[in-house]
Amino acid sequence: MSVKKSFGTEPVEESLEYLVYKLLKERRYTLTTAESATGGMIASTLVNVPGISEFFTEGYVTYSDAAKVKMIHVNPKTIEKYGVVSSETACDMAKSAARTAGCDAALSVTGVAGPDGGTKDCPVGLMYIGCYLKGKTVTERYVFEKNSRRERREAATEAALRLLITMLKEENPARLAGHCSMQWQSHFPPENKEDSLCGS
């Protein structure tokens, strides 16, 4: 996973995980993850970077509903009311993981990786990604129209890292702290995307 970054006229390939590391290091922020559909892929990608252990303290694979409640203390009423694959649950996962780990930032993913388990309202490839940063939590909704389960998980992992990078670059601690909002963006194909800013 890489992003092109330009220094003068020279384009430089830099991995997303290394860019996350640099941004965390600049701010001295710590990070945790709470993953369901990606099954630890975000954490596995982050640890490609030497030195990340200074900032990436721990990660949770909360695959079942019970694990989300037991390991990171997601409110069971959130899952009961909105469903496990929802913006609200992704938001709760990110905030709860950050609180449980005592971290400045947290990434969460919940979704349907497929190939089975999809419905009309919750299709295969539907993923909600949450990102908590210093009191602000944003969620994104994607439908990844990929060919395989692994490709959908990889796409969600990349989207999660990009969301964290965006939030770190745009950080303004005084703005919207503790709240979550929604903006709509769509991409056809390969995915539909919706952004939302979560309430506390």
What's the CA dihedral at 25, 27, 32, 33 to 10 degrees?
-90
Residue 191 pLDDT > 60, yes or no? no
Q: What percent of the chain has pLDDT over 70?
A: 79
pLDDT of residue 8: 43
How many whole angstroms separate alpha carbon 100 and alpha carbon 70?
Answer: 11
How many whole angstroms separate alpha carbon 196 and alpha carbon 181?
Answer: 5
Pick the CATH number of 15-197 from 3.20.20.190, 3.30.360.10, 3.40.50.720, 3.90.950.20: 3.90.950.20
pLDDT in tens, 66-96: 999 999 999 999 999 999 999 999 999 999 9
pLDDT of residue 171: 84
pLDDT in tens, 122-138: 899 999 999 999 999 99
Residue 57 pLDDT > 60, yes or no? yes
Better-predicted residue by pLDDT, 157 or 190 = 157
The residue with tokens 């998980």 is 153
Q: C-alpha distances in angstroms, 104 versus 44, 56, 138, 188?
A: 19, 10, 14, 34
pLDDT in tens, 88-134: 999 999 999 999 999 999 999 999 998 887 788 889 999 999 999 99
pLDDT of residue 82: 97
Residue 186 pLDDT > 50, yes or no? no
Residue 200 pLDDT > 80, yes or no? no
pLDDT of residue 193: 60
Q: 1-15, 16-30, 104-118, 176-190: which range is least confident on average?
A: 176-190
pLDDT of residue 117: 79
Query: In the chain, what's the furthest Cα-to-Cα distance?
Result: 53
Expressed in angstroms, the distance from the first to the final Cα of the chain is 32
Residue 158 pLDDT grade (very low, low, confident, very high; cuts 50, 70, 90): very high
How many whole angstroms separate alpha carbon 149 and alpha carbon 142?
Answer: 15
